[in-house]
Amino acid sequence: MAKAILLETRTSSFMDLIGNGKMYRVPSYQRDYSWTEEQWEDLWNDIMEIRPDPQQRHYMGALVIEAINDLEFQIIDGQQRMATLSLLALAVIKRLHELAEQGIDREANQERAIRLRSRFIGEKDPSSLVESSKLVLNATDNGFYQDYLVQLRSHPNPRGLPKSNRLLLQCFEYFLDRMKQDSSLATDGRALASLLNDTVARQLLFIIILVDNEINAYTIFETLNARGLELSATDLIKNYLFSRIQTKSDLDALQRRWQHLIATVRQERFPEFLRYHLLCEYRQVRRQRLFKIVRERVRTPPDVFNLMEALEKRAELFAALQDPTHEYWIERRECQPFIRELTLFGTRQLTPLLFAAWERFAPEDFARVLKLVSRVIFRYTVVSSLNPNALEPASHESAKAVLEGTACTPAEVFAKLQPVYVQDDKFRQDFSMLTVATSGRRKKIAKYILCHLESDRSGRACDHETDPATIEHVLPENPDERWAEAFPEEKWDQYVYRLGNLTLLEAPLNRRCGNAAYEEKLSYYAQSQYLLTQEIPKMAPEQWTPALVEKRQWQMAERAVHIWRPDFD
């Protein structure tokens, strides 16, 4: 096969990519849009991480394109990222329109929406006045994208859409929801515009690979095995390591070991794995500096194999920490509940500590550290909503102490984690105000919390993954006027997802409850097997009010303090 001829390889910001009248087409036969909440959340978190510092950059990986003419390009690989960023841009524009309609800085937000739409979505030809889209998707997705999402129109029957169309819509709604939930963005049109025009447009970088024809483009991206956000960092590091090897036998050995390593940790997770490995030694490791650190540390063939050996020792644990069914836990079943919790919470910044504890502690003490980590993360991120990146310095200090032998017990590890352990008073206060949306991953969080509260109250096991309970909203999600007398209508949105308004209920009883009036719901609550639910009629025998939601949630918070506490606190 002939070598692919590169016309150009460069680094480009998202702004450079779509500016100056450029447009991009996805070939009609390419795969449909397939990203899900896992990828949307990773991208959103990456954007929010670099947002405070305009000097930070985040690499989005390689974008392989073929030039049709000076302004039009065909996307050979990278369409998922381009489509997702366009949906993020549309969500910003939609939110600006909503703010203007609400009378918030009306003229400025309307102007921002118009200018951002022209810059990121499409612009009118000055002669024909026909709007052209900067992105054209494949045959399955383009009609819905252009006719509904680009136009910010609602589809009359979303359930009848093809799966990829629904994912496009859900992605748009995901970003719109995150903007509404973020207090720094929710009602600030200037901040929303800056998020798109500055952070996304200027701080997200692509490696642009421009090729002369489609066959050569596919040769390149098959070699890269392009799979998403972290692709370029992985391949850059791989290529550097292989460049340090001199003999064929060593190259063959390295190739075998590299393939096994990547199969274990997964291609897209490798930069994260490498960063947590290095955080055992370095206090701070930014993703943007991974390659530089590897280049500084690895110069000779022995250096390459020393690094590989160190990574291989931790690779299987890294994979196991994200999989409660992994074979590691077959003989350590006491660890499984905490692995399930960490997977649910989705916060991995304390992974370096778990690497160290696995290597230095006896199995029973590793399990106690695992529980400690789960408790710390639940308090810190799930309830108190503190910045998870601030966990990393404490993770480094505790991991280093374990590896060096200055922290030899779980209690001594806990002492090292004190800077990020949310103390009882703050935890109680934050828990008493906790709001948990009951959709997506947050619905699982809500059930997890309610099941633990129920287990503590009743003394019987109530597992959030296996228990058949459903989540009942005492004040319904869609209340009618019957609720307004005791529960002012202006407070419905504020209280409907408060934890004190949520309870566990058997599915048949929940269906009967529906949007019934409170006095009708009481008999169903009394029939429930869940003690927390049975107590509602006793607490509020006549009506349900905001004050009672707060009272019930404060009682939950008192119980939560001792449930989510390390066993040696």
What confidence tens digit (pLDDT) does each residue in 158-182 have? Answer: 889 999 999 999 999 999 999 999 9
Residue 84 has pLDDT above 90, yes or no: yes
Residue 6 has pLDDT above 60, yes or no: no
Mean pLDDT estimate for the chain: 89
Percent of the chain at pLDDT > 90 equals 70
Percent of the chain at pLDDT > 70 equals 92
* Placement of tokens 């949105």 in the chain: 493
Report the amino acid identity of residue 23.
Answer: M
* Placement of tokens 């009506």 in the chain: 543
Q: Tens digit of pLDDT for each residue in 414-442?
A: 999 999 999 999 999 999 999 998 888 88
CA distance 70 to 76: 17
Of the candidates 437, 393, 382, 451, the one whose C-alpha atom is nearest the C-alpha of residue 418 is 393
Arithmetic mean of pLDDT, 477-495: 90
Tokens of 264: 């274990």
pTM of the model: 0.62
Residue 227 has pLDDT above 80, yes or no: no
H or E segment and range at residue 503: strand 502-505
Residue 130 confidence class, pLDDT cut points 50, 70, 90: low
Residue 225 confidence class, pLDDT cut points 50, 70, 90: very low
Q: Taking the C-alpha atoms of 298, 301, 302 and 304 in order, what is their torsion angle to the nearest 10 degrees?
A: 50
CA distance 89 to 85: 6
Query: Looking at beta carbons, which pairs linking 171-178 to residues 24 or more positions away fall under 8 Å?
Result: 171/33, 171/35, 171/40, 171/84, 171/87, 172/87, 172/90, 172/91, 172/94, 173/91, 174/37, 174/40, 174/41, 174/44, 175/40, 175/44, 175/87, 175/88, 175/91, 175/92, 176/91, 176/94, 176/95, 178/44
- For residues 453-463, one letter each, b for 16 or more C-beta atoms within 10 angstroms of the residue's C-beta and e for the rest, the string is bbbbbeeeebe
Query: Looking at beta carbons, which pairs linking 288-296 to residues 24 or more positions away fall under 8 Å?
Result: 288/56, 288/57, 288/58, 288/59, 290/233, 290/237, 291/233, 291/236, 291/237, 291/240, 294/237, 294/240, 294/241, 295/240
Contact indicator for 395, 416 with CB cutoff of 8 Å:
no
Arithmetic mean of pLDDT, 254-261: 91
Q: Tens digit of pLDDT for each residue in 288-302?
A: 788 888 888 999 999
Of the candidates 287, 281, 286, the one whose C-alpha atom is nearest the C-alpha of residue 268 is 287
